[in-house]
Amino acid sequence: MSNLQLPFSFIFLFFFLVLIAVFQTTTATDHIVGAHLGWNPNVSYTDWINNQTFYVGDLISFRYQKYMYNVFEVNKTGYDNCTTYSAVGNWTKGKDFIPLDEAKRYYFICNGFCQSGMKISVVVHPLPLNASSTSSGNNATQNSGRIITSSATGRYDYQGFVGVAVAFVLALVIRLVTQ
């Protein structure tokens, strides 16, 4: 039985191509509700919503005064009537990041201040065919291999690049073993 040894360049190229296929970098937007105004009563969220496009994998962030306000994800009835009955989710930390995992309409309200305008409804679209396209910022579905862009700050949070390092180290180990 012969021992087949492949040249390092072939192995490296193979892992590089696999890496590109598996870890395609896509971008997701962190939509900060109300931008610099945050999640507060007497803010018109209509203008903010009209300047946003949400895609599956994006985040919606609520920034508000902890212990004073909150965020509830509700159904359409809860949204229309400003009630939290049958709420889907509840956040109270004052800096809440909520993943938008499905292509659907989401409804968010503040219990106690919904009547003062603290409610938004967002439509989340499926990812475009070209996953690296942008949503008023960007998109993504999973945390691996994506860059999250804040729609208010323009900051980047790099995630998933550990996979790049692992693939590179793996290629080096294979090279050392096959020498």
Tell me the CATH number at 71: 2.60.40.420
- The pLDDT, as a whole number, for residue 164 is 59
81 occurs within a structural domain? yes
Model confidence at 13: pLDDT above 80: no
Structural domain containing residue 108:
29-144
**pLDDT cut 90: percent of the chain above it:** 51
- The pLDDT, as a whole number, for residue 28 is 84
Model confidence at 84: pLDDT above 50: yes
162 occurs within a structural domain? no
> pLDDT (tens digit, 9 = 90+) per residue, 55-70?
999 999 999 999 999 9
More confident site: 40 or 174: 40
173 occurs within a structural domain? no
119 occurs within a structural domain? yes
For the chain, how many structural domains are there in total? 1
Q: What is the DSSP letter of 127?
A: P
Tokens of 43: 């803010």
100 occurs within a structural domain? yes
For 64, residues 6+ apart whose C-beta sits below 8 A from its C-beta are 38, 39, 40, 70, 71, 94, 110
70 occurs within a structural domain? yes
64 occurs within a structural domain? yes
Mean pLDDT of 38-46: 92
What order of strands is seen across the sheet that includes strand 89-91? 54-55, 119-125, 105-109, 71-74, 89-91
8 occurs within a structural domain? no
Which of 30-44, 64-78, 127-141, 159-173 is predicted with the least confidence, judged by mean pLDDT? 127-141
> pLDDT (tens digit, 9 = 90+) per residue, 138-179?
433 334 344 444 444 333 344 455 555 666 666 667 777 776
